[in-house]
Amino acid sequence: MASDIDLESIAAATVGFSEADLANLVNEAALLAAREDKNQVSNVHLERARDKVVLGEQRESILTEDERKRTAYHEADHALTAFHMPYADALRKVSIIPRGMSLGCTEQTPREDKVNYGQHYLEDRISIMLGGRCAEKLIFNEASSGASNDLQQASLLARHMVTEWGMSENLGPLSFNNPEQSFPGQELLGHKDYSEHTAELIDEEVSSLIRNNELRTEKVLEEHRQALGAIAEALLEKETLSDEQIDQLVSRN
């Protein structure tokens, strides 16, 4: 290992990794160093290896300039919303380098290991997920298919909050998903242990939860639109920004 390796930083960026994941990380870092004919593995190699393990292999961009700009604003607002949400995980980096199936990414790192998540934290996650779509609507006057995965994840999380974790004031502390009371194949028959009226109320609560957090995201955009533009322009120039660089851009704008 080179003397510049920051193990605390690597540990913070690999929360939730198994022993096999960590072994894979070190192996990938060693391969990167070997390809560069280096005698030591540096912190840069570990960082690049971590990105490959977590985000996937970097792939050549085939985006048009318009798509690249849209991606920059999309990821910029994920980052901006994450920066301003009080209960969100710490912002780590934002990038518009395509990896795997993704055109870009905004990465956050938990401040500590968690097994239990509060409602405020979960609502902040939904707001951040909706950030890309909100920015596209604001800047380009339309949404795009690029927010598909964000919407799926936000909808799934909101439904868990309402149906399993009792995080709806109107429905109260009830669980509407009890696997102990079901039998194999029951879900295929469309069986529910609650009424159609309750199902409608659940849908309304899920929709309300998402819309309310969308309004929170839009408020961040309205108050920090100049910072949004600054982050997007920096992404178009540098492709990847660290948390320190984002902090500087937000502070100046």
Report whether 151 contacts 214 (CB < 8 A): no
**In whole angstroms, what is the distance from residue 18 CA to residue 16 CA?**
6
DSSP per-residue letters across 204-248: HHHHHHHHHHHHHHHHHHHHTHHHHHHHHHHHHHHSEEEHHHHHH
| Best CA proximity match to 28, nearest among 51, 58, 9 | 51
Residues 132 and 146: their CA atoms lie apart, in Å, by 8
Q: Which residues pair with 99 in a beta bridge?
A: 58, 102
Catalytic-labelled residue, pool 75, 107, 205, 218? 75
Whole-angstrom distance, CA of residue 134 vs CA of residue 140: 10
Whether 75 is a known active-site residue: answer yes
CA angle 215, 219, 220 (to 5 degrees): 120
Catalytic residue positions?
Answer: 75
